[in-house]
Amino acid sequence: MIVNVVRPDMRATAVAGSIFTIHVLGDVPSPTLLGVLSDTLQGGLAAAVLIIPVAVLVSGLIWTYAAWRESRGTERVNRLEDRQRLDAQTRSGEQ
């Protein structure tokens, strides 16, 4: 989805930023969070891992919302690219 709404010259940076953010917000805190929950909850680790399906559900809802909104961003990028192409053609015709 990211590559559809970012200018071509910024796509690699956008994807890299997305992967970095996913790891920082997910992979880094999750072991500590599950450890704290397993120590805190009565059921131990078995109860703590029950948060995983909830997290998957929430992330799925967020992803669905983002996919639904993607078409608006894609339209904007396409209009911008069309405008830039038209401007370039106009400038090359003036020379």
SS3 46: helix
Report, in this order, helix, strand and coil percent for the chain, each rounded to 5. Answer: 85, 0, 15
Using CA atoms, how far apart are residues 77 and 8, in angstroms rounded to an integer? 10
pLDDT at 16: 95
Using CA atoms, how far apart are residues 31 and 38, in angstroms rounded to an integer? 10
pLDDT at 70: 75
pLDDT tens digits, 59-94: 999 988 888 777 666 677 777 778 888 888 888 776
- The two structure tokens encoding residue 20: 């970095």
